Amino acid sequence: MTHAIHATHWCMGWGFTSDAQPQSFANCWEQVALPLPPQGICCAVLKTRLATPAWQALQRWVAGCWPQVQWLVVDAAEIAHIVTPSMSPRVAQRFGTGSVCEALALHAAQTHAAPTSGEAAAGGLLVPRIVSEDRCATLAIAAGGLSSPPFPTGVHS
């Protein structure tokens, strides 16, 4: 995990069911057990999740942890065919990738990485898919050497 030391930004990919609760997200985070990056955090979610009650729960929970977080909303087509370390046949059939959270994290890190030559710009996974105890939320984290600001502020629907 020395890779985490060089990452200036983290791109967190969140997958969740419509009934995920704040404790679902908190449980994922508790399993990470790494210090926060020195410069910033981006959270990436699927656009289709914005209409769920869990989206508001995630926003509230994240705001309580990291008030300066940036959000990236991604269409499912943008993560289809991204190769992920985790592979769920059900997820692959529905989304075209093995893990939604891993694909979101990788997509955010790779799409928005600054054109630098360090390890952080590579956009590799620091934390592969973590599943909450209630199985309602998943989290993966990718390294990012992101430009500043990394993403437009606010959520675009």
The per-residue pLDDT for range 104-153, each reduced to its tens digit, is 999 999 876 554 434 433 458 999 999 999 999 999 999 876 443 333 33
Beta bridge partners of 139: 14, 130
CB 15, CB 151: distance < 8 Å = no
20 by Cβ neighbours in 10 Å (0-12 / 13-18 / 19+) ranks as buried
Span 74-84, average pLDDT: 95
Confidence of residue 38 (pLDDT cuts 50, 70, 90): low
- Model pTM score: 0.81
CA–CA gap between residue 109 and residue 104 (Å, rounded): 9
Span 44-58, average pLDDT: 96
Neighbours of 157 (CB within 10 A): 7
